[in-house]
Structure 1
């Protein structure tokens, strides 16, 4: 549920209509950053505190969330026009200052997003997978062999 909330919020806040409203309102921009931070906190808290028995369920969630984040980043990188007008770090700077146009800034933001975000999700999935593979079985655990019901 935390993953769904994070993805829906991430894509909603980056939609052009919402982004136009954010560009005109510093309060909405602050709300954007606060809600994205809080949903990320809820998501990572859920991933890191899940029980050992259900830990395997986090792997597909991490990989799916990573892919959807990558897709949004790819849209920002390859868009031929400005999609996010509220680029907060350049929002109050004149166009062309420091050699970056708003479209260049959007492309750079997408590159940062496609690098940092999925790497964190992938790293978490790899760590969890390694923990699951090398998790010692409790003493006295007997694995029973079962026949597969193939051909019966």
Structure 2
């Protein structure tokens, strides 16, 4: 009898647990943010190998949603998109900054721009590679010891 009740309880828990993600949404539609799209395009264009498809997609989305663009200057975004298609990335980047009225050097020049690609400060030396090699060696030795113990036991 308890097995029957436990089965029903588990089925109810699983049924309600599956409905939680649907209730969590709340039914709100996400709002379009043109400024974020332009910032994402800027972040993409300043990379060493810019993904032109992503840049074009973000700028196209801003142009298509002109009514919700807010303070973004659509004419500058359109010009920037043309420059990206022509391969003139520096001019396009400056136009994108101008379209959102942002200083290319960042709001606080002492902190730098939030759009600049992160440069790593860590560069591994011989000691790091030696530690990595020794770790791999000791993991291998541990595996051999475990294998020998299984064969004996």
TM over 0.5: no
Structure with larger RCO (C-alpha < 8 A, sep 6+): 1
Name the TM-score class by shorter chain: under 0.3
Q: Is the radius of gyration larger for structure 1 or structure 2?
A: 2
TM normalised by structure 1 equals 0.27
TM normalised by structure 2 equals 0.27
